[in-house]
Amino acid sequence: MTRLPFLTLLLVSLFVLTLEAKTKDLYKVLGVEKTASQREIQKAFHKLSLQYHPDKNKNKGAQEKFAEINNAYEILSDEEKRKNYDMYGDEKASPRFDAGHSQDNDGYTYFTSGGGGPGHGQNTFRPGEWQSMGGSGGSKSFSFSFGGSGGPGSFGFGLNDIFSNFFGSDTKGWGQFGGFGGSTRSQSGPRSSSKNIRTINSQVFQKEITEQGMTWLLFSYTPSLKGNQHIESILEEVASTLEGALQVGSINCETELSFCKDLGIYPRRAPRVFIYSYISSDKGSLVEYNGELAVQDLKSFCQEHLPRFSKRVDLRHFEFPSVTSEKLPRVILLSTKKDTPVIWRVLSGLYRKRFILYDAQVQDVTDPTGRRLGVDALPAIVGWLSNGEKHVLKTGISVKDIKSAVNDLSILLDGFEKKNKKEGTRKAKTSTEEKQIPLLTGSNFDALCGESTPVCIIGAFRSSRAREKLESILSMVSQKSLTRRQNSAFGSRDSISYALLDATKQSAFLNAFDKAGFKSVDKLLVAYKPRKRKFASFVGEMTIEEVERFIGSVLNGDIQFRETRKKPVLKQES
């Protein structure tokens, strides 16, 4: 009997081991059906990987089981590999052992690649050229075809992997073993087929992540580290549940070495996970996640670090926006939520430099403030242009998912921003024509609020911000022809004058109207009738609508006037 050379025996042994490995049903390894969706496969892998992870499971065989699960997931989660596996039993469309193929093949069995059939292999042994190796049964001999999809010099059916397992990940020196070339690829590195995880380099980081307002979940790795695929699966699941609220990326620190070191994210012993967060800085910063690598824990961490550029307000004390020198429009979200909704937090990050954002809790549409804003259904968004003009942007907002809601509301905000810019351009053209409201002094008091003036509207302020607001509102109102009844005591726009008063310097003047001098308020309006020495005051919300309503009531005699305590006297300027 001819003795087989050592190399031949080794090849045959490796081949048998490979057949055993390839015959395992990968669907059964993950416990799913062959018709399972990618989502079902991902969930099954995540559950099993947590159960058998070597860091948690110290039982005998857990490490081998974990490797088996990882191998099954890598194949079945990749559409091309899964297709090849379903068709050929191998994710690489490599040779498959087909037994019992008699037909016209002279009674011997072929080992073929992808169903190529006899004669298609590079190395074919017919009866008499390769003995039965002690086998029994009707098969006379074996025939093998090397090459497969790996190209010339490749084992095709996985001997590369066997050498890698036998001799470690470094196959240098074995690449030409027995005349066959081969190469290995780390099975721990992220797959390029992931749809939810973006490959990040320094250029992408600077252009699409830094200070863009979107939260990113990032993990840094090198292909040789263990656990890459496990972390990737967790990140994919978090990405799918928070799609639209954040984006996910991976950074290969082997190819982006200097970039990773500059950011301080280089992984030495294990992959690292970070959030690009806006919680502590308007410019955004990387915050490392050091918690349990579980989907729910990581998801909660991500939600905690979503932007919070929307100011939470109580509508009972909310100062409604009016004319200001600020060029940014303002928007407020009214909802029944106790905390700022995730969608609004996402938008607050994206629009933080383009809008001033608020949000408030409203019990229902019968809330007086909500009705006052013209809201008939919740959730609702109300906006104010920079000129103080109010718009109900949307009511009864329906949300299917985060991504679609963010997209829809982004379109809404973009349109409102364009409207504000258009209004700002128009205002700029007419700003030189706007009437300036003078500051009331001893020298101009008689001209503005003397006895020849029927009514003098005085805007008193105690801060520069209050002055700016009163000046803007009175400037706008003074340009309008307010509605008056025909029997009104005042017949023309000239019958009323407007002035500002610095209450910090002229407290004695206000004491003539109120014993306390209105010291509890930062700004107020006084409608003063010099001839009768009577007045009416307004200390409510300073909006264009409310001020117009107050002055209209004054002109139409619909408001109760009171006598002054004494004659108002201005302190002489020094």
203 in the same domain as 89:
no
User: What own/partner pairs with CB < 8 Å and gap ≥ 24 does 486-492 have?
Assistant: 488/555, 488/556, 488/557, 489/454, 489/557, 490/454, 490/455, 490/555
The answer to whether residue 394 sits within a structural domain is yes
The answer to whether residue 208 sits within a structural domain is yes
Phi, psi at residue 14, to the nearest 5°? -65, -40
The answer to whether residue 217 sits within a structural domain is yes
267 in the same domain as 130:
no
Tell me: the pLDDT tens digits for 167-179? Answer: 333 333 333 333 3
458 in the same domain as 359:
no
Number of domains in the chain: 4
158 in the same domain as 31:
yes
Q: In angstroms, how far apart are the furthest CA atoms of the chain?
A: 135
The answer to whether residue 311 sits within a structural domain is no
The answer to whether residue 434 sits within a structural domain is no
Give the CA radius of gyration of the chain. 39
293 in the same domain as 264:
yes
Torsion (CA) 127, 132, 136, 139 in degrees, nearest 10: -30
State the residue range of the domain holding 300.
197-304
473 in the same domain as 531:
yes
Tell me: the pLDDT tens digits for 198-248? Answer: 999 999 999 999 999 999 999 999 999 988 989 999 999 999 999 999 999
Residue 538: give its domain's CATH number: 3.40.30.10
283 in the same domain as 378:
no
The residue among 425, 454, 480 that closes a domain is: 425
* 244, 346 contact by CB (below 8 A): yes
Which amino acid does the sequence have at 534?
K
177/184 Cα distance (integer angstroms): 14
92 in the same domain as 121:
yes
128 in the same domain as 30:
yes
In the prediction, which pLDDT does 115 show? 41
Give me the residue label for tokens 């939810």: 196
Q: How many helices (H) and strands (E) does the chain have?
A: 17, 18
Tell me the pTM: 0.51
21 in the same domain as 103:
yes
570/386 Cα distance (integer angstroms): 34
Burial of 150 (0-12, 13-18, 19+ CB in 10 A): buried
394 in the same domain as 256:
no
The residue among 363, 390, 425 that closes a domain is: 425
Low-confidence ranges of the chain (pLDDT < 70): 1-23, 90-195, 321-326, 427-435, 481-494, 572-574
The answer to whether residue 186 sits within a structural domain is no
The answer to whether residue 413 sits within a structural domain is yes
Tell me: the pLDDT tens digits for 26-50? Answer: 999 999 998 898 888 888 888 888 8
In the prediction, which pLDDT does 194 show? 60
Burial of 196 (0-12, 13-18, 19+ CB in 10 A): middle
Nearest CA to 123 out of 115, 133, 131, 113 is that of 113
203 in the same domain as 117:
no
The answer to whether residue 188 sits within a structural domain is no
